[in-house]
Amino acid sequence: MDLLVVPVPFFDKNMMVQAYYLRCQEGNGLFEANQAEREFDGAMLSPLLATLNAVGVDAYTMGKPIFVPVNGLMMLTDLAAQCRQPSDRVIFVVDEGCKPEEPFLSNIARLKELGFRFAMQKISRVDKYAPVAALCDYIFFDNRQMEDPRQQLMYALAQRDYRHIRTVTTHIHSQEQFEELKRLPDQGSRAPDLYEGRFYRIPITRGEHRVSPLKLNLIKLLNLVRDENFEFSAVSAIVQRDTALTVSLMRMINSPFLGLRQKVKSIGHAVTILGQVETRKWVTTAVSKLLGADRPDELSRLSLVRAKFADNLSLKFKMEQESQGIFLMGLFSVLDVILEMSMEEALRMVQVSDPIRNALLEGKGDFGKILRFMQMYELADWKAVSRELIVNDLAPEDIYEAYMGALGWYGDVVGGEDVSFGE
């Protein structure tokens, strides 16, 4: 697939993901002198909808709705025929290319009758686009532009005239901004219904923070299995003190992936059946899921998707011999946020190699190159991604394959199959 695409989470005020927004670029923008984005802007067929039809909404959202941007020309086509996904799961996002006139308005109304919903973004004058806004279910506001008088007008109009429409505030880059927006009702204004930005992965490092005993237990287990000759009895002693670990271990033992036919007599017996290699793999994924259990779900998702994305990229970047270390680097890339401390403090608690440490603390080395690439990708910094594709002689389909493979693997992990990395 000649498409770069990443799902961006939209949160409610309780930091629960309610939907995702698909950002994309066709092809390599630099190779094609930035024609890719312009061709997408003028296309009548949506590559995003083609991708959704190929892999399904759940590949990106794990059961949540998805916001899909469409341009004005697409709104003149039969979008229902292009989108073969459940209509209640898809929210079309329009901008000023969707004119407040016919046939745009009748097309929106027809699609809404079929169950699709609509959102409006990048609109300079809500009052001018009132006929479109009246048909929409969401309006987007850019937090970076809230001081702009035009943005203030938009927000005021949305508060007064479009209270039936849910509001989405984007580009929230700190916890302070998030908390301020949540407090708007106390000031007589309406708080956003959905929030987007990097705020959820900014570590909280103010003051002293103590790691809970349960998390210390998980970190102890993770460090234990890093030893090439760890004792099964030591692993069993930790696992049997944690119900969630015990359940995860039994699911792993009974998974079709292993194909075991033995009856498990005890936790110690289960670990012995797995052996050192598979126990180490199971611990790595199980612990990473449980460490973030008290943090926003998206953090655990980000950690695991990054880990497998990094693992898949190691082959593309000709570093497959380092795949296990690169997997761990991706896994620990949000450890500071999960443990609510600086990365330097967090890494003191886990035993990692120098390449992992150098990548996470300073972005240095070959591991750091992969970490930076993943961060560019997640931010949809397509120009930076395109430069890396050229430098490393990679095609967009290489990255699409690596990323979709990571999403599929994550789906297996949370869907009940305790799969391991490096498969």
Where do the domains of the chain lie, and which CATH numbers do they carry?
Answer: 3-201 (3.20.20.450), 213-414 (no CATH)
CA distance 262 to 277: 19
31-35, 235-239, 296-300, 351-355 — which is least confidently predicted?
31-35
Q: What is the mean pLDDT of residues 276-281?
A: 84
91-100, 201-210, 376-385 — which is least confidently predicted?
201-210
| Amino acid code (one letter) for 253 | I
The dihedral through the CA atoms of 296, 385, 412, 84 has a sign that is positive
Place of tokens 């926003």: 296
CA distance 173 to 171: 6
pTM of the predicted model as reported, rounded to 2 decimal places: 0.83
CA distance 393 to 221: 40
Q: Assess whether pLDDT exceeds 80 at residue 143.
A: yes
| Amino acid code (one letter) for 394 | L
| Of 423, 383, 381, 373, the residue nearest 403 (C-alpha) | 373
Q: Could you tell me if 70 and 93 are in contact, meaning their C-beta atoms sit under 8 angstroms apart?
A: yes
Burial of 119 (0-12, 13-18, 19+ CB in 10 A): buried
User: Residue 210 has what pLDDT?
Assistant: 62
User: Residue 423 has what pLDDT?
Assistant: 43
Q: Assess whether pLDDT exceeds 60 at residue 128.
A: yes
DSSP-derived pairing of the beta strands 166-170 and 17-26:
unpaired
Q: Could you tell me if 97 and 73 are in contact, meaning their C-beta atoms sit under 8 angstroms apart?
A: yes
User: Residue 32 has what pLDDT?
Assistant: 39
Q: Tokens representing 38?
A: 């312009």
Burial of 43 (0-12, 13-18, 19+ CB in 10 A): middle
Q: What is the mean pLDDT of residues 384-389?
A: 92
Q: Tokens representing 94?
A: 């329009």
Q: What is the mean pLDDT of residues 28-54?
A: 59
Q: Assess whether pLDDT exceeds 60 at residue 33.
A: no
415 or 234, higher pLDDT = 234
Q: Could you tell me if 134 and 109 are in contact, meaning their C-beta atoms sit under 8 angstroms apart?
A: no
Tens of pLDDT, residues 145-176: 877 655 555 666 566 666 788 989 999 999 89
Q: Could you tell me if 199 and 172 are in contact, meaning their C-beta atoms sit under 8 angstroms apart?
A: yes
Q: Could you tell me if 405 and 421 are in contact, meaning their C-beta atoms sit under 8 angstroms apart?
A: no
User: Residue 289 has what pLDDT?
Assistant: 77
Q: Assess whether pLDDT exceeds 90 at residue 11.
A: yes
Q: Assess whether pLDDT exceeds 70 at residue 255.
A: no
Say which DSSP state 403 is in. H
pLDDT-derived band at 337 (thresholds 50, 70, 90) equals confident
Q: Assess whether pLDDT exceeds 50 at residue 420.
A: no
Q: Tokens representing 299?
A: 């953090």
CA distance 375 to 392: 17
CA distance 220 to 238: 8
Neighbours of 214 (CB within 10 A): 16
User: Residue 263 has what pLDDT?
Assistant: 66
User: Residue 352 has what pLDDT?
Assistant: 86
Q: 323-331 and 297-316 are packed helices; what angle lies between their axes, rounded to 10 degrees?
A: 160
265 or 326, higher pLDDT = 326
Q: What is the mean pLDDT of residues 273-278?
A: 84
111 or 189, higher pLDDT = 111
| Amino acid code (one letter) for 399 | I
CA distance 16 to 22: 18
Alpha-carbon separation of residue 101 from 44, 116, 122, 254 (angstroms): 19, 20, 18, 59
DSSP-derived pairing of the beta strands 3-11 and 17-26:
antiparallel
Q: What is the mean pLDDT of residues 75-83?
A: 92
Own/partner pairs, 59-63, CB within 8 angstroms, 24+ separation: 59/404, 59/407, 59/408, 59/411, 60/7, 60/20, 60/22, 60/407, 61/7, 61/19, 61/20, 61/89, 62/301, 62/411, 62/414
Q: What is the mean pLDDT of residues 268-279?
A: 84
pLDDT-derived band at 194 (thresholds 50, 70, 90) equals very high
3-class DSSP assignment, residue 141 = strand
pLDDT-derived band at 178 (thresholds 50, 70, 90) equals very high
Place of tokens 């959202």: 61
333 or 296, higher pLDDT = 333
Q: Assess whether pLDDT exceeds 80 at residue 381.
A: yes
Q: Could you tell me if 180 and 201 are in contact, meaning their C-beta atoms sit under 8 angstroms apart?
A: no
User: From the DSSP assignment, how many helices (H) and strands (E) are in the chain?
Assistant: 20, 8
Q: Assess whether pLDDT exceeds 60 at residue 31.
A: no
Tens of pLDDT, residues 201-254: 876 554 445 666 777 888 888 888 887 788 888 888 888 877 778 877 877 776
Q: Tokens representing 346?
A: 């967090």
CA distance 155 to 189: 10
